[in-house]
Structure 1
């Protein structure tokens, strides 16, 4: 009897550690932006809940650290509308509850056999969205914490994890405090910019020299020589050709392209032998 009681106590302790002891954690991936001014990247909830039922879904409560009690006082295992307690679009208004609930995925997608280290869930991936349970962003520079929920098809909470620790989001800097001078640039960037500026200046100089040379050559050609139209001298004679079929009644033939220069001096004289083809 005592042995059975001990076994039951050990089983209960294991279940409580599995379902209640684990909590959301920051991803271990080497991302540059694990935490931004309004988003954060967590590990996926693998092995958070070990009792898998058909249709159960994992949801995430994302809250300001000061609002954890707001959720705990309103949500319990008998609350059928926990998903609508604090709609996202107004979740962080001045008089709001300062938390929202967003869907992570089916519980069957997060088994213990799969390592969660390289898998992640980004809170705030939907930006400033308008859905009740959309994955929206936090106010800039907030102090935030998270809790996982296992909810069945009737929107009843089956199990919950512990609240995570508080994470401080980055505070955006004012533009006036950002140093954008040369002292904020790396040495390599300064060298590259200097080389590019010198190359552009050299190309512009070469282009200007080419324009000057072309202009000078044009003026020189115009001052030392002028073009004149082609002249056709009167001494040019246009030969006459006879076709065999017309040899008996040959007559002079003027090239039409030179008709304007046809004169008595250029036309063939009667009695002169005709050139045969």
Structure 2
């Protein structure tokens, strides 16, 4: 849903700019759903439409520190300032082509400032911005280094600032009180559960050992009883001698 809203707003901005004059145009950070619209070294502007004529005048983007922008006059806009002068004077110009490069269109587009990592021309370079700013920008139209017209200044543009990994505090003391209490309770319960499982294990082993000993004793006792068993009549019956045989009769 957010994607469609941003696209509609971008198109509406372009539509409202139809017939607008550059002197009333305010540069805006893009509303298009692109990744990295503002980074630690770049920012992205909506590409202006329908504010320039179809002439061959040169369009420049003036990038300035916010505290310097208030003191920049029209006389300071010509000739264009080089990127190498930015550390000392606090502003520089980025070439953006001719006015004919910005026709009216129903398709939203953007300009990424600070996008050229390796500049082949150090004189006028769209190089990465050196710090988080804040900055202000404006579009300037020139003809042979003569100022033709310019837009209004944008609002403050502040870049993202990365945090040094060595300064990130990972100590638990930075956690909330509720998180610490919950962690302590879970740790205590885990310890109690571990003790219960350990005790149950030893009790089970001891019970199995007792059962095994009782079974072995029963087997030994049964074996002894089998060896000592005598029938009940074996002690009372005695061996009887065979009766004497009668003499054979004599024949006379």
TM-score normalized with structure 2 length: 0.54
Deviations 1:205-259 (A, max 9, x none): xxxxxxxxxxxxxxxxxxxxxxxxxxxxxxxxxxxxxxxxxxxxxxxxxxxxxxx
Q: Does the aligned pair in 2 maintain the 1:45–1:116 contact within 8 Å?
A: no
* Residue 101 of structure 1 pairs with residue 93 of structure 2: yes
Structure 1 equivalent of residue 102 of structure 2: 110
Relative to structure 1, the CA distance from residue 21 to residue 120 in structure 2 (aligned partners, 3 Å threshold; closer, same or farther) is: same
Which stretch shifts more, 64-73 or 101-110?
64-73
Relative to structure 1, the CA distance from residue 105 to residue 128 in structure 2 (aligned partners, 3 Å threshold; closer, same or farther) is: same
* Residue 48 of structure 1 pairs with residue 51 of structure 2: yes
CA distance in 2, matches of 1:104, 1:36: 21
* Residue 25 of structure 1 pairs with residue 20 of structure 2: no
> Aligned to 1:159, what secondary structure does the other structure show?
strand
> Aligned to 1:71, what secondary structure does the other structure show?
coil
Aligned pairs, how many? 154
Q: Does the aligned pair in 1 maintain the 2:65–2:135 contact within 8 Å?
A: yes
Which of residues 112, 116, 125 is equivalent to 2:115?
125
- Indicate the RMSD between aligned Cα atoms, in angstroms: 2.7
TM-score normalized with structure 1 length: 0.50
1:19, distance to aligned residue in structure 2 (A): 2.3
Query: Structure 1: which 5+ runs fail to align?
Result: 1-13, 182-277
Query: Structure 2: which 5+ runs fail to align?
Result: 1-16, 172-252
Which of residues 134, 138, 141 is equivalent to 2:129?
138
Structure 1 equivalent of residue 151 of structure 2: 161
CA distance in 2, matches of 1:180, 1:105: 49
Runs of 4+, deviation exceeding 4 Å:
178-181
